[in-house]
Structure 1
């Protein structure tokens, strides 16, 4: 197919989640292409997040909610098929489970192709949640293309649902972010002093919510090992969450309260990355394609991260950063110390990380790959 493409982007609801917040940079990037994207949620508007709606509105994105409350709602398929047909869409792109479960049969009624994207790493589920995910996998496997945003995601779904063999239409396609604001440059020395509590030494920044799978306790327990080689180094924990009390107790127990700073939640993350000598991501499980690693890469940071989930997709070990085994305090300390001790290595890895972020993980590159997939889907369907 040549010429403009009209695409219906379908989501479960405009909740505050990783997949939903990626809609804005994707649609903004599509405006420089011949793909015209409309965004619709399956669920009632009452399920939408006010913050997500504000993000979309600020980007000039108009949305609709179809008011479908459950998969077995008798109005679901005819209503969605009508939206696809009346909208004159060439292709439907469904994100998340409910959307793709409905999109595949509804698009078949409207005689349009479907592309589906999974945004998470599959893990053990039970009850209705397990049933919903299985239905989504079955539906997506009958679409033109089932996309997984990391190799770890695709492998986890294969292990859970297709252990006998991966369907031919399953592919990895990395999503992207708006990298425009994440540029390298001189640090804001006032901010750096704030993040380090005024200590004039190497600064390691650990960005992320204080949640159990982020591996922050591993970093805290490893910090004394790093301090032996770099006594004036500071670890800045940039984020917040319900585990903060436990983390503060651990910092005290490890005797590193003078060099671990709880820097709070920040809205100026490009400046935070530029202030860091090393960005540390010690996640222990569940990570799919963490945005903070893409942001840090685009800012040309030296990155030390755990070898888990989709992180190796972003950070090829020794090429754009250093990887270590999740949960290993010794390997984490060795990676951080190697970076702190070698400015040339930090510069080389950071430059390669920035180049890779723009080529593979920008919203622009993501939309270019989607455009190619959409054209293939439309051409095959016709």
Structure 2
């Protein structure tokens, strides 16, 4: 970067994640790459996990130069006390929150040890009731928080930014769109024998087409629609296996629906897997049948990085990542027959599928790499550490992935 931060001591960046770091997922990769990069700069990285961290992940992050703190979620009051303790202990120059509902942090925002910048990365923003607050009250609450505390927002898609501007009336100049990224080292095209290895693992012939889904098993992820689409696909292509990776509240209901449809031979629920990157690289198609306004969808980036064509729903921020007809096929949500048609098109045209996979890999390398994600985040850090927020033109209300921060 051209700008240098002039401070008496190394800047301290505190990143707070409301997740349990128990696998090498993309968010854990992000924390790892960010910590390594900050260490090179001579900055200090403090990683706070609200739900826990495994010894293995803690070791990897510590070796990257990060200080790792854990706050047991428990009751909300205990979470507040634990987070306040960490903030007072390290007195960060920037506190960057991920996956935390804005309203739940209000009790601590006014109790920080000294004035500092608060940044939220908005991975999800849909107006909805929280606890005893109604949907409308939550909107008013968030408007108050972000309008009075000088908080900056990093949105993972223009869809999220537009929601924040249109629904929450947040100032566009306080929002920067920084798309998600994935590790190009972990998610990459597989070797020639990987497909056969995965087929052998699941006891199917090597000529079986593998359709890969990876998500939390919740209604909004659209797995029920995927099962309906699977009926149509296997009727025409019986040598097809759907691998559904993940856990969640809907697992049992989905297992029962699979049995009702007689799809046990064609659909396998694998549970959580630490090697989802291998499954994607071995697969023929990666799918994301989301039924809600998905803010971005890491799975579509991971699938493209693995060199696989993607079939996904045209919802939320997904169209900003998947180029329809080039890196995959987009269909409407809750349209399983459209979804089945897209899958059959790719299974019946392997050359087209391979071309989409190559285009997807190139797109991720150019726009959605982990290095780019970390670089853009650091650029925001450096900007806010060296300058005050300046007024932006009123017409700056829509920005796509990678848009610059107005500062």
Unmatched segments (≥5 aa) in structure 1: none
Q: 1:80 to 1:364 in 2, by over 3 A?
A: same
Name the CA distance, whole Å, in 2 between partners of 1:316 and 1:180: 22
Name the CA distance, whole Å, in 2 between partners of 1:154 and 1:83: 31
**Pick from 39, 45, 48: which aligns with 1:38?**
45
Mapped contact 2:158–2:177 kept (Cα < 8 A): yes
- Equivalent in the alignment of 1:277: 284
Name the CA distance, whole Å, in 1 between partners of 2:81 and 2:189: 53
| 1:381 equivalenced with 2:381 (yes/no) | no
Q: CA RMSD in A?
A: 3.8
- Equivalent in the alignment of 2:268: 261
| 1:169 equivalenced with 2:174 (yes/no) | yes
Mapped contact 1:273–1:296 kept (Cα < 8 A): yes
| 1:59 equivalenced with 2:66 (yes/no) | no
Name the CA distance, whole Å, in 1 between partners of 2:117 and 2:26: 21
Question: How many Å apart are 1:22 and its aligned residue?
Answer: 5.9
Name the CA distance, whole Å, in 1 between partners of 2:108 and 2:370: 24
| 1:49 equivalenced with 2:52 (yes/no) | yes
Mapped contact 1:222–1:330 kept (Cα < 8 A): yes
- Higher mean alpha-carbon deviation, 74-83 vs 171-180, is at 74-83
Mapped contact 1:39–1:62 kept (Cα < 8 A): yes
Mapped contact 1:154–1:170 kept (Cα < 8 A): yes
- Equivalent in the alignment of 2:392: none
The count of residues paired between Structure 1 and Structure 2 equals 370
Mapped contact 1:101–1:140 kept (Cα < 8 A): no
1:27-53 deviations in Å (ceiling 9; x for gaps): 245247526242254xxx9x54243x6
Matches within 5 A, 1:31-180: 31=38, 33-34=40-41, 36-39=43-46, 41=48, 48-51=51-54, 54-60=56-62, 61-64=66-69, 70=77, 80=87, 83-84=90-91, 89=93, 91-95=94-98, 96=100, 97=102, 101=106, 110-128=114-132, 135=141, 137-141=143-147, 142-143=149-150, 145-162=152-169, 166-180=171-185
- Equivalent in the alignment of 1:201: 208
1:262-302 deviations in Å (ceiling 9; x for gaps): 34432222221122111121111253233322221211111
| 1:309 equivalenced with 2:313 (yes/no) | no
Matches within 5 A, 1:182-193: 182-185=187-190, 186-188=192-194, 189-193=196-200
TM-score when normalising by structure 2: 0.76
Name the CA distance, whole Å, in 1 between partners of 2:384 and 2:364: 27
Mapped contact 1:77–1:102 kept (Cα < 8 A): no
Q: 1:103 to 1:117 in 2, by over 3 A?
A: farther
Question: How many Å apart are 1:125 and its aligned residue?
Answer: 0.9
Name the CA distance, whole Å, in 1 between partners of 2:184 and 2:162: 28
Name the CA distance, whole Å, in 2 between partners of 1:225 and 1:92: 49
Mapped contact 1:12–1:98 kept (Cα < 8 A): no
Name the CA distance, whole Å, in 2 between partners of 1:76 and 1:206: 35
TM-score when normalising by structure 1: 0.80
Question: How many Å apart are 1:219 and its aligned residue?
Answer: 1.3
SS at match of 1:9: strand
**Pick from 6, 17, 26: which aligns with 2:11?**
6
SS at match of 1:206: strand
Name the CA distance, whole Å, in 1 between partners of 2:274 and 2:87: 38
Name the CA distance, whole Å, in 2 between partners of 1:167 and 1:321: 31
Unmatched segments (≥5 aa) in structure 2: 390-407
- Equivalent in the alignment of 1:348: 355
SS at match of 2:290: coil
Name the CA distance, whole Å, in 1 between partners of 2:374 and 2:349: 37
Question: How many Å apart are 1:315 and its aligned residue?
Answer: 1.1
| 1:297 equivalenced with 2:304 (yes/no) | yes
Name the CA distance, whole Å, in 1 between partners of 2:368 and 2:11: 23
Name the CA distance, whole Å, in 2 between partners of 1:187 and 1:334: 28
Q: 1:106 to 1:6 in 2, by over 3 A?
A: farther
